[in-house]
Structure 1
Amino acid sequence: MTFHLTFEGADELHAAAEAFGRRIGGEPAVDVVPLEWLHLTMMGIGSLLELDRDEHVYPWRVLEQVRLGAS
């Protein structure tokens, strides 16, 4: 299972990424990622195939809690 977290509305992060991009953008072999493509790829949660059938909803429940800011 792979998740891609995006950073919509993360103005401070966008400003830092833009500043860093300007700093390294002229270096050979550096391809700066545009802000609209900025994301974090996360892997390693495991396979849904390893869960019992009734547990398949569990990862989505956790992500929804994170999205809503619940602890």
Structure 2
Amino acid sequence: MQKKGKVYEITLTTDKPARDVYLNSASCDGWYDDNYFDMLPGRKYKITFYPKNDCSRLDDLRVVSLAGSYVPQGK
């Protein structure tokens, strides 16, 4: 992740297919130019984040996919 001026450029890769991927930050509201997508192995995904207000850091950025978005029942 790189901060360029007021925006952040985020590059993601995966070694396995990932469904319904999205990014989220609890401390910094804003707009992602691409959010909620599928990822294929070996491909780079570049996302730009445009903060609503000036965010000096984006430490709590989370990348979530369908596989990590639920809690299994029964244990």
State the TM-score, normalized to the length of structure 1: 0.34
**Higher RCO by CA contacts (8 Å cutoff, separation 6 or greater):** 1
Please state which structure has a larger fraction of its residues in helix: 1
Please state which structure has a larger fraction of its residues in strand: 2
Q: Radius of gyration: which is bigger?
A: 1
